Structure 1
Amino acid sequence: ALKNEGINLLLEGLDKYTEKKIYPQELGLKFFKVNYELDGTRICYCKVTGGKLNVKDRINEEDKVDQIRLYNGQKYDLLSSAHPGMIVGLKGLNTIMAYDVIGDDESKKPTLNAYMNYKVSYPEGADSNYLLKQLQMLSQEDPTIKISYQEQLKELRLSLMGKIKIEVIENTIFERTGIKIRLEEGSVLYKETIIQEVNGYGHFEPLKHYAEVHLKLEPLERGEGLIFESDVSTDILSSNWQKLILTHLQEKQHIGVLTGSAITDIKITLINGKGHLKHTDGGDFREATNRAVRQGLKTAESILLEPFYDFRINVKSEYLSKLLYDLEIVGANFTIEQVEEDLMLVVGSGPIRKMQNYHDKLLSLTSATGKMILSFKGYDICADQDEIVEEIGYDSENDVDNPTGSIFISHGAGFYVPYNYVDQYLHIKPQRNTDFETIYSATTRSTITDEELKRVTAAATGRNKKEKIMIRKKRVDDNESFSKTNIVPKIKKPYLLIVDGYNLMHSYRDDRAVFNFDGARDKVINDVASYAGYRNFKAIVVFDAYKTDEVISRKIKSDTIEIVYTKANETADAYIEKKVHQSKNKYDIIVVSSDFAIQNMVLGDGAIRKSSREFMLELKQLNDKAKEYLK
């Protein structure tokens, strides 16, 4: 095979003596590998399982095939099309991952579970952003590797399928970057699920935004993962909005309310929803959908799941009692079989949390005579749920990134409603029966009497107005003493100025943001710094890095101003809302932005709103006063 001798004869023989597979007409692709070349070119390797694939074909809404490569070792030939049965490399696909399946076999896509979590340690002075991009590329090549960043601990973590991959990843990163990393403090990854059917409601309605989503959450059998469906008529909610809600359900890793771990084994069904033709944007349904999931989880009874091993242990009879006693301590379930006269086989399963490095313990228990085979079983109920929940200490109500309540509007201002009161404010009123099913009211006809019609007419014409009664104000005696009134002086807090950087930049009249982007950004920073200096305020300028690849937000601090570039998938709106919520007890906060969504989000936390135009006018006045003073 290395010399390419006899290969054609072998293929001809296989073609002659084996039955040919009949492939479907619909395009089908099975991806098994993603690789990056030295110049950064991304190649996705797949087998064509149906139809015909041509160059420039779109395989989904975001990916188009630029090249089809037929490899022979390191060399390849460019093809104009690929037929069923061929294994090819495709260039130009940016969202495809290894093990993705397109076509009729999508349901056969393998489920890969990472069940161990490791902290990534790297030398001080190493380029963390470069390292992070390399880890992201590695996770695309191997979907069993998951990357996460824990904001509170400022730690980068990798989730893996077992300890065996640690050395492989450390060596691969060192070969590609020259950075020697260490994966340490291994811990299991928990998951959460529910044990009863429940409905979840989410509403998002700050000023000029609107969306409401009703979901049904049902528990599934172990290992079935998450299933998303819609059970709403298009007469109630348009198909485009239904697809949008299902997309939002699938794009996010939803976390539970016990430990903040990912949820699993739940079927989530869209049962109702409502939008507004004028005020509803795509992001509104994202907010309402995520809040509906969280509200449902809070009202349901959740349980904690942990990963389990299947094991097979061969042990001599003289060591059997020691082994069984130890397996009972770790909480394992097992059965015993006699293989030979002096050899026993113990088969069972146990929690990975207590069976890590059990090979070493087995050698100690059996004087190095025992043999063990381990395999990943899946997730099952955690026996020590209360202790683990208390140890992790997750507080779902203080998780600003995953709120459990909803946003409603009153008198032009949005306000937050906690999860346990959301159903009282819903615009689509559900009626619950004893089986926890939601029944929606049907439209009914009604009649109006002549007397009711007269009252309505009188109210409309103003003839039912009552005469105004003049109430004379109480006269206060000048000698009256106010010594009994306890006046508590308000403690004056320092001011914090938070500025939406790009919003202010694009409001400049001379369009600097269009012709000189970097110069306009520097002008914003200088203006805010000047304003903060005049007023003796602390200032934060937030620039939106939503479409970048950086997972960690970047901050630049000086004595008077802090410049923040948000992390990937985080908008400036979200950062400002979170910062206002965290700082409201410490500062009197002023938020500068002409974005109505930001203005109404921060209003509920008591922040002072100031438009970009007001800010520039006030800054001009301060500059004029400073010039007069210096003359």
Structure 2
Amino acid sequence: MKITFGILAHVDAGKTTFSEQVLYREGVIRALGRVDAKNACMDHDDIERERGITIFSDMAGFTHGKDTYYLIDTPGHTDFSAEMERALEIMDYAVLMINGTDGIQGHTEAIWNLLERYHIPVFLFINKLDVISASYERVLTEIRERFSGNILDFQGISIKKGNEASLTDDFIENVSEWDEALLDKWLNGSITFDDVRPAVVSQIKNRKLFPCFGGSALIGEGIEAFLNIFYSYTDTSYPVSAPFRGRVFKIRYDVHGERMTYLKILSGILNVRDSLSADEKVHQIRTFQGERFTALQTASAGDVVAVTGLRTTRAGQGLGECCDTVVPALQPTLQARALYSPEIPDRAILKMFHILEEEEPGLSVVWEESLRQLKVNIMGKIQLEVLEQVVLERFQTKISFGQPEIIYMETVEEPVTGYGHFEPLRHYAEVALRIEPGERGKGITFESQCHVDRLGINYQNLVRTHVFETIHKGVLTGSELTDIKVILVDGISHIKHTEGGDFREAVYRAVRQGLMKAKNLLLEPYYSFTILIPDPLTGRVLTDITKYSGRFEAPVPDGSGRTVIRGQGPVASFMNYGEELMVMSGGKGSISMAFSHYDKCHNEAQVLDHYQYNPNEDINNPSCSVFCQKGTSFVVNWDHAEEYMHTLR
């Protein structure tokens, strides 16, 4: 059996220390490393050790009995949460760690929601119980209230033959909620270990139950009890005899510039020199223990490996018969301009950042030729600082970044139909697209209501492709269009003149023409936050939240002279609030923030005034249509184009 499990948590919850304990007990490392001592096995990058935080997800494999385990240590800081999310794509189980002193933070909740999205079974570990202010019971209650009532408390429980007496009433009630036969045996006093184990294994795997443990990773308390249960109550099955399928979750370049594709084999076998595409072969297969690796000749279903020789793979990509690509839920909310010496060629800077973009796709590197500016998307300011260090260390180039700006998005408030016609001489395509408001956070969806007798299925498929192949720009600020449903209602091709690319032009123009007529809405990113503040400052913080256009739940005293405030607010208003809170509270207050969602912009008029965007001057996103009469092509502006449309005749 092969199991991949990840360690996840809010920053400073003790993830890496927990990972060190596991690897030490399994003989992977000879001595326990510490983050503060800068010698942790899983945080081996110089920047990680300097900053004392995990920045890159890292893995280590080991065997326990006859089984193979792959441990993935993930970043806990919100600025690097995209790296964490990519690692979720290959996990069989997750260990979610929660600080026993601070409880659930904003980022903890974001991780929990991601685990639900990816359908990953979860074990919980309440850490730092050696600290006086920590409370297992308080945090357990909070978990049950905020996450799930189906939390299985394993503290003091030993599920093995002869220890049936340790099973509590609450424990059995939780397990038997999904198994009436088990409840009957409990009530009759005839329950055995052999009855309990398969039920627990199944319910954990199907996310019906979530085991919870407590301890201290720093002093090793509770680790052994956790591992005993984890090894006994996890289960996977990967088909080795099936055709090869794999999932890419990370791209990295090693110190020698060798491109490595990190992937999990979901089925079949992978050998050195296997071809994964027409012109790419696997040169080397590596299995890692932190920064050390061992070269393999073959790997099989369930293994997590890094391979060299692949030049076109990308994070989230499926390989072999696993052809789908995972679309991440977490999106950057800020954009910053790279600043560098004019003596450095633009081409050299672009090359560096395209390498970094392969490793971190969320950067979405943009080169604006007219302004000669390079911009990247980011999650936060710490990520910018790390990028500066990475570029300096890897490429010996000093750069900096301008002040980050908010990444806005746009949508429509009401349905509208857009028309696009593209007919230069000997070309022809026309489409009518209805654009409707979509579900918030779902992006762009598509359907066709056009009969195949009107427009052939091959052209309808082309229309669909062109809807999704580009980032459509809104007409308020030129920001990305999102959360809409695009419906193909009509279309016309020409048996002689329709060429490749004609429908692309028609689709782009139809979307744009529709937006020019539509009632548009500007969206901005929102944080979810958890604020921990001394009780006397509660009123002042609530006033601040309201002032910054945020909203909050009822404050909750934590019983130690502090108040917990949870809420949501615009990134634009709250991105620097942590510094303000630190000054206000004399260092005794803290805020944890994580990206939550996009919603209506709280200061749209101010933003529009700042952008001064004129959609009619955006030559790269035309809303006009091109027609042809008597062998001569001519352009018709968006506001008169419908008078010429063939679909409306």
Q: How do 1:421-570 residues align onto structure 2 when only pairs under 5 Å count? A: 421-429=640-648
Identity of aligned residues (%): 33
Larger radius of gyration: 1
Q: How do 1:166-565 residues align onto structure 2 when only pairs under 5 Å count? A: 166-335=384-553, 336-340=555-559, 342-429=561-648
SS in 2 for 1:149: strand
**Which residue in the other structure is 1:19 paired with?**
235
How many angstroms apart in 2 are the aligned matches of 1:273 and 1:26? Answer: 41
Aligned length: 426
Opposite residue 623 of structure 2, the aligned amino acid is: T
How many angstroms apart in 2 are the aligned matches of 1:416 and 1:357? Answer: 48
Q: 1:149 to 1:5 in 2, by over 3 A?
A: closer
SS in 1 for 2:640: helix
RMSD: 2.9
CA shift, 1:228, in A, is 3.2
2:264 is aligned with 1:47: yes
How many angstroms apart in 1 are the aligned matches of 2:310 and 2:488? Answer: 31
Per-residue CA shift, 1:258-310, capped at 9, x if unaligned?
00001111122333322223322222121111111111222221101111111
Q: Is the 8 A contact 1:63 1:95 kept in 2?
A: no
How many angstroms apart in 2 are the aligned matches of 1:209 and 1:152? Answer: 30
CA shift, 1:66, in A, is 4.5
Q: 1:247 to 1:264 in 2, by over 3 A?
A: same
Q: How do 1:49-198 residues align onto structure 2 when only pairs under 5 Å count? A: 49-50=266-267, 57=275, 64-67=280-283, 69-72=285-288, 73-79=292-298, 83-91=300-308, 93-101=310-318, 106=324, 109-198=327-416
Opposite residue 418 of structure 1, the aligned amino acid is: N
Opposite residue 244 of structure 1, the aligned amino acid is: L
Greater shift in the superposed pair: 340-349 or 373-382: 340-349
Per-residue CA shift, 1:486-508, capped at 9, x if unaligned?
xxxxxxxxxxxxxxxxxxxxxxx
How many angstroms apart in 2 are the aligned matches of 1:53 and 1:235? Answer: 46
Per-residue CA shift, 1:513-535, capped at 9, x if unaligned?
xxxxxxxxxxxxxxxxxxxxxxx
Opposite residue 341 of structure 2, the aligned amino acid is: P
Opposite residue 99 of structure 1, the aligned amino acid is: G
SS in 1 for 2:64: helix
SS in 2 for 1:167: helix
Q: Is the 8 A contact 1:100 1:109 kept in 2?
A: no
SS in 2 for 1:206: coil
Opposite residue 249 of structure 2, the aligned amino acid is: F
Per-residue CA shift, 1:68-113, capped at 9, x if unaligned?
624353442344xx54212233445444321234566948542231
Opposite residue 617 of structure 2, the aligned amino acid is: N
How many angstroms apart in 2 are the aligned matches of 1:11 and 1:425? Answer: 75
- Which segments of 5 or more consecutive residues in structure 1 lack a partner in the other structure? 431-631
SS in 2 for 1:96: coil
CA shift, 1:40, in A, is 5.2
Q: Is the 8 A contact 2:238 2:266 kept in 1?
A: no
How many angstroms apart in 2 are the aligned matches of 1:119 and 1:9? Answer: 46
Q: 1:185 to 1:195 in 2, by over 3 A?
A: same
Per-residue CA shift, 1:443-488, capped at 9, x if unaligned?
xxxxxxxxxxxxxxxxxxxxxxxxxxxxxxxxxxxxxxxxxxxxxx
Q: Is the 8 A contact 2:534 2:561 kept in 1?
A: yes
Higher relative contact order (CA 8 A, sep 6+): 2
Q: 1:113 to 1:74 in 2, by over 3 A?
A: same
How many angstroms apart in 2 are the aligned matches of 1:140 and 1:124? Answer: 25
TM-score, L = length of structure 2: 0.60
Q: Is the 8 A contact 1:203 1:408 kept in 2?
A: yes
Q: Is the 8 A contact 1:70 1:87 kept in 2?
A: no
2:90 is aligned with 1:36: no
Q: Is the 8 A contact 2:246 2:322 kept in 1?
A: no
SS in 1 for 2:461: helix
How many angstroms apart in 1 are the aligned matches of 2:393 and 2:401? Answer: 16
Q: 1:161 to 1:209 in 2, by over 3 A?
A: same
CA shift, 1:165, in A, is 0.8
- Which segments of 5 or more consecutive residues in structure 2 lack a partner in the other structure? 1-22, 31-60, 70-230
Opposite residue 236 of structure 1, the aligned amino acid is: R
Q: Is the 8 A contact 1:63 1:93 kept in 2?
A: no
**Which residue in the other structure is 2:165 paired with?**
none
How many angstroms apart in 2 are the aligned matches of 1:222 and 1:11? Answer: 47
Opposite residue 264 of structure 2, the aligned amino acid is: K
Per-residue CA shift, 1:341-372, capped at 9, x if unaligned?
74322111111111122111012222332121
Q: 1:171 to 1:302 in 2, by over 3 A?
A: same
Q: Is the 8 A contact 2:338 2:376 kept in 1?
A: yes
Opposite residue 430 of structure 2, the aligned amino acid is: E
SS in 1 for 2:516: helix
